[in-house]
Amino acid sequence: MSFKELPIMSDKQKGALLFYPYISKKSAQNIKKVLSTRWIGQGPGVDKFEKKFQQIFSKKNSALATGSGTDSLHLAYLLAGLKKGDEVITTVFTCTATNIPLLYIGANIKFADIDPMTMNISIDSVKKLISKKTKAIVCVHYGGLPCEMNELQKLSRKYKIPIIEDAAHAMGAKYNGKPVGSISDFTTFSFQAIKHFTTGDGGMLTIKNNKLLKKAKRLRWFGIDREGKQNGTWENDVFETGYKYQMTDIAATLGYDSLLDFNKILNHRRKIFKIYLDKLSKNKNIICINDDDKKKYHSAWLFTIALEKKDFLQKKLREYRIETNQVHFRNDRYSIFKKFVKGQKFKNMDFIENKYLVLPLHHKISSKQAVDISNLINKII
């Protein structure tokens, strides 16, 4: 893959930036308190954040805080029992972070095409790739729109394989009224700077089989039973290769404070999303990436449009200091994934790859700005 993107926009002048980190106003004060205690690394703040996250998003599933979304994905793959050579079906269109931990494991990646209207994994494509050798299916709720979970769950039951949801875009999304995080065997979240809210860097893994929680905690911390060690009951043996994937109490404080603000964050994002959708779906030269399926409740992380004159629009908007970008790119173009492709065609990905563009959507974009940006786009295109 070789093409250049527009540089990111400077934040020194007024304009509409594509992303902006969300930090609760309470956090500076609350972190100051944490800094004067003994627990700045993983301590009671992490437990408190996990408990609150579980109440809101994962319900009966366990919630385990990690150092990043990527850490959570790697842990999910390990806990799903994936090993070298195992076939895993995953989407071709996502942040590379979804698929890179499959390389750590040495899994045999099978890329599925996307549905061009939602840019989520195509169920037809998954069905064509699935076989007795398939050990897991990974899906990504692109932009915050849930995938076809009923269909994926059916395949999961039929082939007795786990579904791993990468929900880095989908905090607050629901399917059939159930929050994303409470549905599948494993679900991962990210609190990286540009996500719904941030902990600097951080992630969450939710796990359906609560019996795996102890192992998950060991893998998060060198293979050590940390609770047992702190209670003086640990036998002091490390029998599996663990990682250093924990969250710190400094980060968890940011996370907990933002969870208290979460309804406000989500409602604002959904409001901006709806303004773009109402105004831009009237334009016949523009496709809004979305789905009217009533089972799906959108978490409005990204608003994406598709159009023939994508480059023209992007450059024009930049003249008005409105930042847009493609954000994620098809993974089969990257050299690290080439060996898994072998001439395979991705018809829908091919169709949309030079057409999609993500518009600014975050807590600092006002309704008026969203109206103005939409009107401007409708004027240009």
Ligand X SMILES: *Cc1c(COP(=O)(O)O)cnc(C)c1O
**Sheet of strand 356-359: strand arrangement:** 287-288, 303-306, 356-359
State how far Cα 235 lies from the chain centre. Answer: 37
Burial pattern 92-120, b for ≥16 Cβ within 10 A else e, equals bbbbebbbbbbeebebbbbbbbbbbebbb
The smaller minimum CB distance to ligand X, of residues 6 and 194, is found at 194
Question: What whole-number distance in Å separates Cα of residue 285 and Cα of residue 7?
Answer: 26
Nearer to ligand X, 140 or 163 (CB): 140
CB of 12 to ligand X, least distance (A): 25
CB of 142 to ligand X, least distance (A): 8
For residue 167, the minimal CB distance to ligand X (Å) is 8
> For ligand X, which is the closer residue by CB, 45 or 144?
144
244: exposed, middle or buried (Cβ count in 10 Å: 0-12, 13-18, 19+): exposed
CB 196 within 8 A of CB 301: yes
* Site residues, ligand X (CB under 6 A): 68-70, 94-95, 97-98, 140, 166, 168-169, 190, 192, 201, 203
Which CB atom, from 266 or from 286, has the smaller least distance to ligand X? 266
Of residues 61 and 68, the one with the C-beta less far from ligand X = 68
Q: How far is the CB of 68 from ligand X (least distance, A)?
A: 3
Residue whose Cβ sits closest to ligand X: 69
Tell me the closest approach of the beta carbon of residue 19 to ligand X, in angstroms.
11
CB of 54 to ligand X, least distance (A): 19
Q: How many CB atoms lie within 10 A of CB 311?
A: 12
User: 225 or 262, CB closer to ligand X?
Assistant: 262
Beta carbon of residue 173, minimum distance to ligand X (angstroms, whole number): 13
Which strand ranges, in their side-by-side order, compose the sheet holding 87-91?
Answer: 62-66, 203-207, 186-190, 163-166, 134-140, 87-91, 108-112
Count other Cβ atoms within 10 Å, centred on residue 228. 15
Closest distance to ligand X from the beta carbon of 186 (Å): 13
In the bound state with ligand X, the residue whose beta carbon lies nearer, of 152 and 275, is 152
Closer of 300 and 377 to ligand X (Cβ): 300
Residue 331 or residue 374: which is nearer to ligand X going by CB? 331
Strand pairing category for 163-166 and 134-140: parallel
CB of 70 to ligand X, least distance (A): 3
Task: Provide DSSP, 189-206.
Answer: EE--TTSSS--SS-EEEE
